[in-house]
Chains A and B, each alone.
Chain A
């Protein structure tokens, strides 16, 4: 069964460093997302991406964050200058389209630890 894959599974970085989290969505999907989950808290929406541009973003997704689809398969989340509060599990998700095809499929996540 097709799945969303994320790398790395764990990332440790120093505060102020840049990190790039990588995702390979399901191949025929058109909508791509990043979510995050701080330990013990809800899963939170960060950003959605469609047709090579951001379609929606939350208030969490500030200028320190960016997303890119550099080729036909990868989807990346960049955090320019990490802060302690960026420590969380980051999930990539994708969906095929609208209506019945809006079902979200999630990757297994990247655990980001900012020291």
Chain B
């Protein structure tokens, strides 16, 4: 069964710091991985999607990387701001996830950026 793990579960940093969030997956037959942010009581906002053929994707201050061999993806946030405070989720789509359309979510990292 596909497992998607995110470490740390919670992270608190001062404003302006660069930070890295981690996502690990057990299925090496990955199709793609998507990063989301979730604000309390709200829906999921898509941040970045990395295909299995890609090594990284960038959007503004965000950079997501994918290392299939080690089963890891990282989300790098540069110059963090209080508005970045949210829970960050990775979502994995792979060959052994029980179906192509089935996306498996990680446990999430709750980020707090302190002004």
Contacts and interface: CB of A to CB of B under 8 A. Distances in A.
A99 B104 CA distance: 17
A111 B105 CA distance: 19
B105 A42 contact: yes
Interface residues of A, number: 25
A43 B90 CA distance: 10
A87 interface: no
A102 B32 contact: yes
A103 B36 CA distance: 10
Interface in A76-115: 91, 93, 99-100, 102-109, 111
A48 B101 contact: yes
Given A102-B32, A105-B46, A45 B102 contact: yes
A103 B101 CA distance: 12
Interface string B8-43: 000000000000000000000001101010000111
Contacts of B100: 56
A42 B106 contact: yes
Interface of B: 31-32, 34, 36, 41-46, 49, 51, 89, 91, 93, 98-108
Interface of A: 4, 31, 33, 42-45, 48, 50, 55-56, 58, 91, 93, 99-100, 102-109, 111
